[in-house]
A and B are shown apart, each in its own frame.
Chain A
Amino acid sequence: MNILKTLLEVISYRENLNREGFVLKETKDDQKDKPAEDKKTTSPQSGKRSFKKPVRPAEINRDEHLPDNSSVSASLRENKKIIEKLYGLPDNKDIIVRDLVIGTKVPVDCFCVFIDGITDKTLQDLLFQSLMAFADEPAPADKGKLAGVVKDALLPGNQVKIVSGFQDILDAVNYGDTALFLEGCAEVVLVETKGWEHRGIERPTTEQIVRGPQEGFSETIRANTALLRKSIKSEKLTTEFMVVGTRGKKTVAIMYLRDLANPDLVAEVKKRIENIKTDYIADSGVLEEFIEDNPYSLNPTVLATERPDRVAANIIEGRVAVLIDGSPFALVMPTTMYEMLHTGEEMYHRWQFGSFIRWMRALAFLLSLLLPGFYLAVVLFHQEMIPTELLLAIAGNREKVPFPSVVEVLLMEFSFELIREAGLRIPGVMGSTIGIVGALILGQAAVQANIVSPILVIIVAVTGLSSFAIPYYSLSFTLRIYRFIYIALGATLGFFGISMGIFAQVALTANLKSFGVPYLAPTGPKTMGGPDIVTRLPAFFHEKRPDYVNPQDITRQPRVSRGWLRRKGGEKNG
């Protein structure tokens, strides 16, 4: 009987009273809209957009969590209380407050604040040792000067600062420093103890080269600036730091050669970065979007690279590099489309090889953009322009395909894009499957099932290869999207459409600017050509820096840069 009841219970319907479970209820101001509030007041150019967010009353009287940079008090207990409040102790478990006594003749009470995990333990051990064990200086009578004494006489750390504002302390501690609060002193000693787990300097993974430096940037900004310093050993190389983001603060480094980069350019870069009002910038890609000239264009106008040697070469031409903490990609500006087709490697090869690969790449650029559209235009409208044999081969292979050519092309392009995306996202363990599946779908199977014609497989494969030959990933993406426009134009209007499309695209692209420099320079507006646009001339011909960058000094080397070619005055030289 009991069993029957249980069975009935299992199969009979009962209402679930707790249907919803946990519900995330809306808060008063659900949206993080501090930036929106700022936009309303600070950016007049946003008036063009008619869309405005209404401001909620709750947002206007938001209280800041701390009065701006309030000072440290002399009382250790009070300071501790404030720190506990600021960091939300004791809930916040990775903030460590360490009480200690400085072993001077008159012991001084003090405590240290640091964050576990982003500090260097050996450095800290040294710090504590010197404070607790080896401090044999007499403590000064005036306790207010204690911080100065500790800094000058007791601490061996390489960067020790004395500050008195809480905001400064928080910023430093959040970045891995250790703050030392002293009893009776209204100042705090900040000791540099940064040190966290990070990826080492590895080979660049997205921009591989055969010859040339094999180091790539990593996620630590100091390491990245150091890499650039290592390449450009000059006292003129300037690194300016800025902080962007209100909630998650990110350090941004701006690097340029003080006596070379155009001061207006540097000022413009700084102005744009300074005026970013946002809560958090995750990566250089986001920063790029905030500062680039034409965010609505498909073409990227800022060069992102993970190779220090390339950035260094650009800085030496008078450009500005922007690095952001946590991103292994440096942004270089201004840049042109031609430079996006460079890898820097051409300079490391002999100039003939460099020129050859550049021309190959130019061809790849065109193929990647136009080939499928071109194919459709030929097959649908201009059949007379290809040799009869080829036409009959194409026609014969298409006989069994049930789709129109456009559908066929779109199908293949779409599956290719799928493979590309899937190949990128697939978990590494299963990596090898994508190659097999991709090759099967695109190649043999699709043809055997009469879904596509074999010629089309070749077309799509060549297009795909060409787009991989574009060295800059963003530009390659641009071409991938434009390609579909040309497919539409080729399929509806033939070559007429393609030529119209090219005309429009050239006009649109020529209109772009990258930090005041025309995007298609030096051909967009025709200016002085250079030795390094498409053909890479021998290094000793590179006498001038790029004209369009307008550096303070345009001369890179004298007209005779190989001094040994000159005959010595008196000597007879065959």
Chain B
Amino acid sequence: MRAVKLCALLALAFLLLTLPGCWGSRETDEVAYVLVAGFDKGEKDNLVVTVNIANPRTIAGISGGGGGGGGGGGDGASTMTLSLETYAPAAMLNLFNTVVDRQISLSHTRAFVFSEELAREGVGKWFLTFARYREVRGTAQVFVCRGKARDFIEKNNPALELNPTKQFELIASLSRSNGLYPSVRFENFYNDIKSKVIEAAAPLVAVHEGGLESAKPGVSKGGDIAVGKYIAGEVPVSGGNKVQAIGTAVFRGDKMAGYLNGQETRYYLMLRGLFERGFTSILDPFAEGPEQSTTYIGFQIHQGRGPKYTTHIDEEGNVSIDAEIFLEPEIIASTSSVSFERPDLKPVLEETFSRYIEQGCNNLVKRTQEEFKSDIFGFGYQVKRNFWTIPSWEEFKWMDRYPDAQVNVTVHTRIRRTGLLLKTSPFMLMGDEGQ
């Protein structure tokens, strides 16, 4: 009797495990993990989808016979790139299975790359699909690619990384230490294209075929002094990966409206309070004559605290916004003979630096107002505070009024450190002026 009961109990337990167990389990060797997905405008159909699928065997370092010895790749590429022309992103998952013997999974897709052409046409409808599909990660990065996303993914070859996942993860986090491009998550981008207070922006990437020909003239040749005067695809780099990320794609609604170069991206990040660190230079304010364009002061800028905004709306609905930015640069380079460490000279340098950044910020705001008509800074969030209810705010139609808003940017600079040198001692061959 007891034996019967026990058997019944065991049978019940077995059934409970087997019947409701949804059997949705997938072994890791039954799944193809898409690491990067790229989207181009199709020629005959809507989209050309390019996926970069991980080859776990190479990544784990077991290629030949024997066991799991040291890492460092084996023979065979660590990823596989495939392209497909189809009408919608979800359809690709099945169509790719005609050639890939494993189930395509987007659960580990780290980056979504959209070509400029597609972005200018509008990406909203594709995002709706992704936002609904359960496998897509909200934390994936979104990029806009100058040129074809397909080329970008095919030519991407991160020499230092085993697979592009880490590459894109590092690219995203590097945004904090150079400020040359923003780091935008899928979920944020999706929210921003829907939003009525802010417009979306995405980091800009491109393929650069290599070579130094694309270099722009330096300041001594009458060019710009800014580090980030380039946009993706122009940075004169020779060797290494052919893929580069710099600049920002500005959106209006779900359509791309234009680019910002690296330097403008920094101003953009500063105005949003997202700028963390970055090197920049200004010209020596005391230099005269021929030296004027060859003596620089180099800084590592750090945004001391978030920007402070003051907004005002008058009766006629004219909006004025005062944004204050707080920067704390550290002197890290100086070709000048002036000892800016001196307490009486430091304020001069701070003042010059503030004006320089201010000018850049104001120019950028003007550009977004006139050229893009797009509030990528999220000033809307500040202006919105003047309204009591959402309907009255929506009625205000901030997006249409943004180009006419009066925006003043003020920069406050405090030089906190002067690097490891406390005193500038010029080289003797520069002349005998002393300090």
Contact = CB atoms under 8 A, between A and B. Distances in A.
A383 B17 contact: no
A383 B108 contact: yes
Contacts of A400: 57, 62
B31 A392 contact: no
B61 interface: yes
A388 B20 contact: no
A115 interface: no
A325 B54 CA distance: 66
Interface string B55-84: 011111110001110000000000000000
Interface string B119-159: 00000000000000001010000000000000000000000
Contact of A397 (B22, B62, B107, B163): B62
A491 B20 CA distance: 13
B370 to A, nearest CB: 42
Contacts of B68: 397, 447, 453-454
A452 to B, nearest CB: 11
A396 B59 CA distance: 7
A388 B25 contact: no
Contact of B18 (A395, A399, A492): A492
A388 B56 contact: no
Most interface-central of B23, B33, B66 (chain A CB within 10 A): B33
Nearest to A446: B67
A12 interface: no
Contacts of B20: 493
Contacts of B25: 380-381, 491-492, 494
A252 interface: no
Given A381-B24, A488-B17, A489-B17, A392 B1 contact: no
Contacts of A391: 28, 33, 108
Contacts of B60: 392-393, 395-397, 399
Contacts of B66: 448
Contact of A388 (B31, B58, B108): B108
Contacts of B57: 396, 399-400
B213 interface: no
A398 B29 contact: yes
B290 interface: no
B107 A398 contact: no
Nearest to A385: B107
B35 A50 contact: no
A384 interface: yes
Most interface-central of A388, A404, A454, A491 (chain B CB within 10 A): A388
Given A388-B165, A492-B21, A394 B33 contact: no
A51 interface: yes
A389 interface: yes
B27 A392 contact: no
B110 interface: yes
A377 to B, nearest CB: 9
A333 B107 CA distance: 52
Contacts of A447: 67-68
A492 B21 CA distance: 5
A491 B28 CA distance: 13
A405 interface: yes
B100 to A, nearest CB: 15
A157 interface: no
Contacts of A379: 27-28
A497 interface: yes
A293 B67 CA distance: 51
Given A383-B108, A388-B165, A389-B165, A396 B24 contact: no
A335 B180 CA distance: 63
A491 B67 CA distance: 26
B59 A393 contact: yes
Interface residues of A, number: 35
B44 interface: no
A497 B26 contact: no
Nearest to B17: A492
B166 interface: yes
A111 B82 CA distance: 104
Contacts of A492: 17-18, 21, 23, 25
Contacts of A392: 33, 54, 56, 59-60, 163, 165
Interface residues of B, number: 37
Contacts, number: 103
Nearest to B137: A384
Contacts of B221: none
B165 A399 contact: no
B35 A380 contact: no
Nearest to B58: A396
A383 B28 contact: yes
B28 A51 contact: no
A287 to B, nearest CB: 25
Contact of B135 (A384, A399, A444): A384
Interface string A363-406: 00000000000000001110110001101111111111000110
A159 to B, nearest CB: 50
Contacts of B24: 381, 494
Interface in A436-454: 444, 447-448, 450, 453-454
A389 to B, nearest CB: 6
Most interface-central of A396, A450, A493, A497 (chain B CB within 10 A): A396
Given A384-B137, A388-B165, A398 B17 contact: no
Interface string B393-425: 000000000000000000000000000000000
Nearest to A377: B25
Given A383-B26, A395-B29, A396-B59, A388 B110 contact: yes
A50 B1 contact: yes
Nearest to A376: B25
Contact of B26 (A49, A51, A380, A491): A380
A50 B5 CA distance: 13
A405 B29 CA distance: 10
Contacts of A404: 27
A468 to B, nearest CB: 26
A319 B417 CA distance: 67
Contact of A398 (B2, B23, B27): B27
Nearest to B164: A388
Nearest to B106: A384
A50 B18 CA distance: 32
A399 B35 contact: no
A14 B363 CA distance: 116
A399 B27 CA distance: 10
Contacts of B67: 444, 447-448, 450, 454
A497 to B, nearest CB: 7
Contact of B28 (A395, A448, A454, A493): A395
A383 B56 contact: no
A203 B35 CA distance: 58
Contacts of B110: 388
Contacts of B35: 388
Interface in B12-60: 17-18, 20-29, 31, 33, 35, 54, 56-60
A51 B2 contact: yes
A493 B15 CA distance: 12
Given A384-B107, A388-B33, A454-B68, 11 more contacts: A50-B1, A383-B31, A388-B35, A388-B165, A392-B165, A394-B28, A396-B59, A400-B62, A447-B67, A447-B68, A492-B21
The 10 closest A-B pairs by CB, nearest first: A396-B60, A396-B56, A395-B28, A380-B25, A492-B21, A384-B107, A395-B56, A448-B67, A388-B165, A388-B108
21 contacts: A50-B1, A383-B28, A384-B107, A388-B108, A388-B110, A388-B165, A389-B165, A391-B28, A391-B33, A392-B60, A392-B163, A394-B28, A396-B58, A396-B59, A396-B60, A399-B62, A404-B27, A491-B25, A493-B20, A493-B21, A494-B25
